[in-house]
Structure 1
Amino acid sequence: MTVSENALGAGTAVASGSSVTSTPARIRFNPFSADFRRDPYPLYRQLRETAPVHRTLGMWVLTRHADARAVLQDRSFSAGLIPQLVSEQAARLGHRDVARIERLGRKSLVFTDNPDHARLRGLVNRVFTARAVAELRPLVSRVAADLMARARSAGGMDVIADFAAPLPISVLCEWMALPEQLRERVGPWTHDIRFLLEPGMMKAADFVRVVEVVEEFTDALEALLAERRAHPGTDLISRLLAARTAGGDTLTDEELIFVCIMCFVAGNETTKSLVGNGVLALLRHPEQAALLRRDPGLAKAVVGETLRYDCPLQLTKRVATRDVAIGGAVIRDGDQVLICLGAANRDPEVFDRPDEFDLTRDTGAHLAFGHGMHGCLGGLLAELQAEIAFEHLGHLEPRATELQWQDHSFIVRGLTSLPVVVREAP
């Protein structure tokens, strides 16, 4: 996703307005609580209104759209925190064999800063083009139709387990032309490696498993690279192998492998949650679901409004590399900043009636895919998959059940299950 990326000069206030620099006693920001998982938006609203820029849990928490957008586009805020946290957590747990996963962090687009980021992005962008993603529409439609055919045959499904989870995995496996014996392993591998996105949640056993999985995944992809070099095709791996800059620069084998691994790790959980959160919003807003049934062309609007209303990636971190004034507070060089994307996307200064799910609104200003140079590389693919999903889902009715929100990640918001009955259109 290409967005304006002008960095702000040293010492510039990236957003104006008053703020509270410590959380009021009556408000406790705890992203690990069950109440926050069920519904974080009342707390976000309180924080925006009373302490939009405040320090808690050893970091600065931002909840206003203007502040979040400004930090995301300011290149002096580093995205390279994860590799450092992996090393620190490994040391705390006495786990030393982490060289490969540390390199995976340092060489992944999600966690790199310039000049590494510009080099990697320049190469990968040659493959992840709007045209290349658009060409995947028939593939995504076929996968979605197959999943829905099974659901109709069964009379119902779990939207998460039976549709939203297998959709992105299947699409990526097809795009990479992975052999069948590898496809059945990719899902479990992706589930294990996701811990790298939140190193603080990793236990000693998690490090052991992640190291094993990354080695297994790397070995499997190394074999594929040799095969695709000898017999290139139109698949994603072949295209990444062929990608080069005007100066002749190419991805190293390990860099290419890391790109493929992170496609699964970064794209699976968020796309799954985007579809699940969108279905839940439609079930809770039957008048909007009726609009979609009358006009299937609104599927794209469902995607945009879901990304704004209940975005999968709720939180993202940056580290200040200089002193910066934000909303009356001074964030010092080295301070960690937690950007609440879910709060920014419901800021009434940007979105009218922000707590309403409305398919007719303009959602172009949402920050669900980030902003600036770290804007989500796979955003277009996630949008395409979700759009086609909403085109195929048809008439669903909820089964009576208590909603369970996942608790293996505090940055991603998504359901663990969503049972529904599949009806023929009335």
Structure 2
Amino acid sequence: MSESAQSQRSCADKPLQLPRFNPFSAEFRETPYRVYGQLREHNPLHKVLGMWVVTRHADVMGILRDRSCNASIIPQQVDNQAARFGRDNAPFQRLAYKSIVFTENPDHNRLRKLMNIAFSAKALDQLQAPLEGMVEELLAEGYRHGGLDIVAGLAQPLPLRIMCHWVGLPSEMHATIDAWTHAIRFLLEPGLMVKDDFEKVSAVLDDYMAYLSTVIDERRRAPRQDLISQLLDLQLDGDRLNQEELIFVCIMCFVAGNETTKSLIGNAIHALLEHPAQYRLLQQRPELVAGSVQEALRYETPLQHTKRLATRDLVLDGQPIKAGEQILLCLGSANRDERVFADAEAFDIERKTKGHLAFGYGMHGCLGALLAERQAEAVIGRLLQGPPMLRGGAAPSWQSGSFIVRSLAALDVQFA
């Protein structure tokens, strides 16, 4: 046997080195998609870090559709942390259990029916003119200076400002609301909290709730054309949101919408700069703006992972999963699955993106999806009317403060 043949035989005899899913590594946060691709191909469903990791689109969709796999895992983790730190029955726990993101039926169905009215396309139409004005204002400074950090100068402040406008909060509260919301982000990743984090979150939540309670009381006395006034007036078959539910709805509008929308805007612009042919196509055909946003959601999914808890024994892709086990759904991987999206690693603004899971699916599908899409469309649409974008001098960097959100920490852009 020749030396070449022996070498080939030796390589063939070696067991396949399976990739390791480690969302905590800096390398994975920078470029997760190579690992996702290897996992989908060779190890699509496996147990690591005490949970089942699901990477293929069909399997992720199967769990999202299965009502026995519920979202109560986050409130349970908050409970566990509260017990560890001696803070049982804290408001943070009630926020977790009453947030529409994590509730199960019948509570979820009740809250969803009420909230769907407030977040309808017709209700959001009233925000279009203020939204476009905010985009114009934020971009004006960048145009004057010939460039800006898209994240700090546009993607981060826009979601906060439009939500404050909708809720009816004054501009002098922007910085405070931003700080409070950032602190409470641990609700989405409670397992990362140490005792100091829990104490800080609890103190912030007390201030957040007290402030919003005052605002709600003011709106009861003197209603306006804002979200709180609409929620106060909202009823379905005689059912209304109580005071604490109103407060929690407002808080979760900021917590769930700020970081992911910031991510979507930054990721979409980054993708266009990374794919100049697609950017030129969009300049030639601005009617593809909505398609470019949908492709950005698929290609650089803001919320990369979401968790579910199996409440019964089940079998997924031939693998038994026991009741009580945790399931991590890799939305970012599902959206790059070649079995669903042809040439999935390519960024293609003409692609038919139906079936992407960036906003989840089913009863826990993102309530604020339409608002996030409209913000990204308004930004990209306005950028197309200005001077062309060019990549700035500093290389883009990915944030490391969250392990479930894929978002740029900075993106320097110049205007030609």
- TM-score for the superposition, normalised by structure 2: 0.94
**2:407 aligns to what?**
414
State the 1:87 CA deviation: 2.0
The 3-state SS of whatever aligns with 1:126 is helix
Q: Which amino acid aligns with 2:182?
A: H
User: What is the aligned counterpart of 1:167 among 150, 158, 161?
Assistant: 158
**1:235 aligns to what?**
226
Q: Which amino acid aligns with 1:67?
A: D
**1:16 aligns to what?**
none
State the 1:208 CA deviation: 1.5
User: What is the aligned counterpart of 1:133 among 100, 121, 124?
Assistant: 124
**2:370 aligns to what?**
380
Equivalences for residues 105-254 of structure 1 within 5 A: 105-246=96-237, 248-254=238-244
User: What is the aligned counterpart of 1:289 among 264, 271, 279?
Assistant: 279
Q: In the superposition, relative to structure 1, how do residues 95 and 136 fare at CA in structure 2: closer, same or farther (>3 Å)?
A: same
**1:85 aligns to what?**
77
- 2: CA distance, partners of 1:66 / 1:73: 10
- 2: CA distance, partners of 1:401 / 1:26: 35
Which is further off, 357-366 or 129-138? Answer: 129-138
Is contact 1:176-1:235 (8 Å) kept?
yes
CA deviations 1:209-242 (Å, max 9, x no partner) are 1111111111111111111111112200101111
1:69 paired with 2:65, answer: no
The 3-state SS of whatever aligns with 2:183 is helix
- 1: CA distance, partners of 2:195 / 2:201: 10
Q: In the superposition, relative to structure 1, how do residues 262 and 331 fare at CA in structure 2: closer, same or farther (>3 Å)?
A: same
CA deviations 1:185-224 (Å, max 9, x no partner) are 1111111110111011112221111111111111111111
State the 1:151 CA deviation: 0.9
- 2: CA distance, partners of 1:31 / 1:184: 30
- 1: CA distance, partners of 2:17 / 2:225: 58
Number of equivalences: 399
- 2: CA distance, partners of 1:189 / 1:294: 42
User: What is the aligned counterpart of 2:18 among 20, 23, 26?
Assistant: 26
Which is further off, 304-313 or 390-399? Answer: 390-399
**2:397 aligns to what?**
404
Structure with the higher helix share, 1 or 2:
2
Q: In the superposition, relative to structure 1, how do residues 122 and 356 fare at CA in structure 2: closer, same or farther (>3 Å)?
A: same
Which is further off, 291-300 or 47-56? Answer: 291-300
Larger radius of gyration: 2
**2:32 aligns to what?**
40
CA deviations 1:74-113 (Å, max 9, x no partner) are 1111101111111212333x24166100000000001111
Q: Which amino acid aligns with 1:231?
A: A
**2:45 aligns to what?**
53
The 3-state SS of whatever aligns with 2:118 is coil
Is contact 1:157-1:420 (8 Å) kept?
yes
The 3-state SS of whatever aligns with 1:338 is strand
1:329 paired with 2:322, answer: no
- 1: CA distance, partners of 2:148 / 2:88: 42
State the 1:379 CA deviation: 0.2
Is contact 1:95-1:204 (8 Å) kept?
no
User: What is the aligned counterpart of 1:101 among 70, 75, 92?
Assistant: 92
Q: Which amino acid aligns with 1:47?
A: L
Is contact 1:24-1:51 (8 Å) kept?
no
**2:8 aligns to what?**
none
Is contact 1:52-1:63 (8 Å) kept?
yes
Is contact 2:396-2:412 (8 Å) kept?
no
- 1: CA distance, partners of 2:25 / 2:278: 30
Is contact 2:82-2:90 (8 Å) kept?
no
Q: Kindly indicate whether structure 1 or structure 2 has the higher relative contact order, using CA contacts under 8 Å at least 6 residues apart.
A: 1
CA deviations 1:303-322 (Å, max 9, x no partner) are 10000111100000000011
**2:292 aligns to what?**
302
- 2: CA distance, partners of 1:40 / 1:184: 32
Is contact 1:140-1:385 (8 Å) kept?
yes
- 1: CA distance, partners of 2:16 / 2:110: 44
Unmatched segments (≥5 aa) in structure 2: 1-14
Q: Which amino acid aligns with 1:65?
A: H
User: What is the aligned counterpart of 1:366 among 356, 362, 373?
Assistant: 356
CA-based RMSD of the aligned residues comes to: 1.4
Q: Which amino acid aligns with 2:108?
A: H
Q: In the superposition, relative to structure 1, how do residues 325 and 97 fare at CA in structure 2: closer, same or farther (>3 Å)?
A: closer
State the 1:409 CA deviation: 0.7
Is contact 1:396-1:422 (8 Å) kept?
yes
